[in-house]
Structure 1
Amino acid sequence: LNEYFKKKKSLKDIINFYFKNYRLSGLDKRFIFNIVKGTVRYYLKIDFLLSLFSDRKIKDIDFVVLNILRMGIFQFMYMDKVPSYSIVNESVELAKKNVTLSSSKFVNAILRKVSSVPNIDSFAKDKIDRLVEDEVDKISINYSYPGWLVKYWFDWYGKEKTILICQSLNENPHIYLRFNKNKVTIDELTREMDVISVDFGQLPTGISGMLDGIIEVSSVQDITKTEIYRKGLVSVQDLSSQIAVSYFINPQEGEKVLDVCAAPGRLLLLK
């Protein structure tokens, strides 16, 4: 986070560098990725909330301490499976190790205040509604998008569509894998991957039956290291690409299909 906010480096490049150079388990990588990506995504809202609990202005807080606090508050807001005491203790230890003892006391005081609020996300939304008058600013802070961008959307699409745009862009992207169901089973896949769902009941009628060779996974961080990937039994493939071939083109036995944009040609393997 320090590199991202201060040096304006690509977040993807920073994360990949540390994951490549430090030995971390797949679970640790996903945990770190979620905290870092989430903190960056919601930092405007987090900073607004932090300003309510701190006597110091955001610009006056030590930069490293600020990012420690941001990560802690993000976990309180969006990672309810992490115990409150763990968030506070780990944040305090980070401040002790990387800044000073007095800074760790400041971190402890702020995060304990935050932890005392029953539903911190609802608390933040209520404060934004009551303390921020301008509608553009409200949306900007609540969904953590720059004011100029929210104003652009607001002027073009109006309030309701702007909110829908922000909500959609803040959703975590779905990751789908296409697998060769003739050579590998769901049970074999689940032993190597964290499978979330194989239920596509919300898709239009007729599509779900054609997509039985698909799984949704939480992460593909280490997929290249799995045996099933090295053997070519699975490939990362967007759902829309799979629907395009399996549903709309729906090639039949004996037909010839020319894909003029094939690179590397995985769509041709769908049927």
Structure 2
Amino acid sequence: MDKLDYTELSGMNLYQGVRGHAVKILNRVDRTDAYLDKLLEIELKNSNLSGVDKALLFEIVHGVMRWMGRLDWILTGFYKGQFSKSVSDVKNALRVALYQILFLDKIPDYAAVNEAVEFIKKLQGQKYADIANAVLRNIIRNKDSIRYPDPEEDLIGYLSAYYSHPAWMVKRWFKRFGKEETEKLLIANNSKPVLSLRVNNLVTSLDELKSLLDSVELKYTISKYLPEFIRLNKLTNITDWEYFQKGFFSVQDESSGLPVKLLDVKPGMRVLDLCAAPGGKTAFIADIMNNQGEIIAIDRYESRLKILEKNLTRLKVTNVKTLAINALDFNDNEGFDRVLVDAPCSGLGTLTKKPDLKWKKDLGDIRKIINIQYELLKKGSSMLKVGGSLVYSTCTIEPEENFEIIKRFLAENPNFTLVDASEIFPKELLDENGCVQTYPHIHGIDGSFAAKIIRLV
């Protein structure tokens, strides 16, 4: 029984140990629309791996996804035949082994090779095991002389292979930012993510949370732009801590707090969160409102709303009403003081945390989503009271999804005006139009956009 269908292996007996679990997850990322974080979460929950092994599994699958472009460039050069068409088990076992060889100092090269070879032999037989052995040992022998595309002849090809991003993405950014800034952005996207916590003032205070972190010797720094956020100095499984369960904080990137601050909510207001799940921004709005007033939080999927409701319960939020409905079908006669349209987007500002997005998105995804974004903005604006304000936000750095949406809306709706965010935020966070625009390589947080408009009449 040399080859086995993947579905026959779901008993997990063959996908054992950290590398086995890693290959299993990477196979699923390849073959389905599922996102890495969701697959990893399920695997960690259902496995009996130790804490150290779980951390290594996280490191390996994120690392392979982050560096897949470079790994595949190298493997394609050394593989006899077409690496891209090889069996998933072989392809991902080689990626895992090569990631360990190139990026993880604690694992000796020979150990990475032996594990991969034994694993492939078990799943695909001796023939494939011999191929893997030859490929990996050849790479190790030539590790210091691996060639990438010549930047003088093919700069996009070089940046794409060396910094592990799809060529279409590199080409776009190169056109917009030039070589130096593009290279910095690619480097930032490949950095290990920063873990940020938002202090939940409904339950605790910044000072109390700081002293609790001190008591368990977790090192942190106060975030640069928003005092409600704390950056942990290293990744940790903070959600296992009792104070997470007690609602003292959320795990949230600082960029996600910027649109909430820009929205400028007050206790007692009526607020609409049009695309609310999983609820990080909803909870921050409730915190600033001190649970006073009303927030209507909408999402079309019941399952996502259940996650949101669970988060709100944990964070002791009491002024939110949830509604499972397509946002475009929502109607309300009273009107809202504030509307947040945190639009679905390509997510290309979050590649540090979600490296698999690089390989799952293409230009077509951006073209498809801009119509939805525009319709959501129109819908949200129709819900505003006169004098009320709306914030449109995304977690992407692509202009078509950001200011171009706002520009088109303002041209078609003269009863709205754009608010310059410089009254709230430092100039370094803003673009030339006075909208929030952050970049991983400049601000050290996720790439994001937020624009505020006011209804005049």
Given that residues 176 and 216 in structure 1 are in contact (C-alpha distance below 8 angstroms), is that contact kept between their aligned partners in structure 2? Answer: no
Deviates more, 1:235-244 or 1:9-18: 235-244
Please name the residue that 2:396 is paired with: none
CA distance in 2, matches of 1:213, 1:159: 33
Please name the residue that 1:263 is paired with: 282
Given that residues 76 and 84 in structure 2 are in contact (C-alpha distance below 8 angstroms), is that contact kept between their aligned partners in structure 1? Answer: no
Deviation at 1:237, TM superposition (A): 4.3
Give the number of the structure whose residues are more often strand, by fraction.
2
User: In structure 2, which of residues 137, 155, 158 is the aligned counterpart of residue 138 of structure 1?
Assistant: 158
Identity %: 29
Please name the residue that 2:37 is paired with: 12
Give the number of the structure whose residues are more often helix, by fraction.
1
CA distance in 2, matches of 1:91, 1:50: 14
Please name the residue that 2:192 is paired with: 172
CA distance in 1, matches of 2:244, 2:229: 19
CA distance in 1, matches of 2:121, 2:90: 10
Deviates more, 1:129-138 or 1:9-18: 129-138
Given that residues 241 and 267 in structure 1 are in contact (C-alpha distance below 8 angstroms), is that contact kept between their aligned partners in structure 2? Answer: no
What residue identity is the alignment partner of 1:30? A
Q: C-alpha offsets along residues 228-249 of structure 1, whole Å, 9 cap, x if unaligned? A: 322345542445678999xx9x
CA distance in 2, matches of 1:237, 1:7: 27
Deviates more, 1:70-79 or 1:97-106: 97-106
User: In structure 1, which of residues 204, 211, 216 is the aligned counterpart of residue 233 of structure 2?
Assistant: 216
Q: C-alpha offsets along residues 168-225 of structure 1, whole Å, 9 cap, x if unaligned? A: 22222200336764475445324xxxx4x4367xx87xx9xx79976333133xx333
Q: How does 1:142-153 map to 2 (within 5 A)?
A: 142-153=162-173
What residue identity is the alignment partner of 2:140? S
- RMSD over aligned Cα, in angstroms? 3.5
Other structure's SS at 1:30 match: helix
Deviation at 1:99, TM superposition (A): 1.5
Which is higher, the Rg of structure 1 or of structure 2? 2
Please name the residue that 1:44 is paired with: 69
Q: How does 1:66-105 map to 2 (within 5 A)?
A: 66-105=91-130
User: In structure 1, which of residues 154, 179, 188 is the aligned counterpart of residue 174 of structure 2?
Assistant: 154
Q: C-alpha offsets along residues 72-122 of structure 1, whole Å, 9 cap, x if unaligned? A: 1111112122222221122122112221122222222222222334xx4x6
Other structure's SS at 2:244 match: helix
Contiguous gaps of at least 5 residues in structure 1: 249-256
Contiguous gaps of at least 5 residues in structure 2: 1-25, 200-204, 272-280, 291-457
What residue identity is the alignment partner of 2:46? N
- CA pair 267-129 structure 1, distance change in 2 beyond 3 A: farther
Q: C-alpha offsets along residues 107-143 of structure 1, whole Å, 9 cap, x if unaligned? A: 22222222334xx4x644xx11549831111111111
Other structure's SS at 2:283 match: coil
- CA pair 58-81 structure 1, distance change in 2 beyond 3 A: same
Q: TM-score, normalised by structure 1?
A: 0.73
Other structure's SS at 1:160 match: helix
Given that residues 170 and 182 in structure 2 are in contact (C-alpha distance below 8 angstroms), is that contact kept between their aligned partners in structure 1? Answer: yes
CA distance in 2, matches of 1:215, 1:157: 30
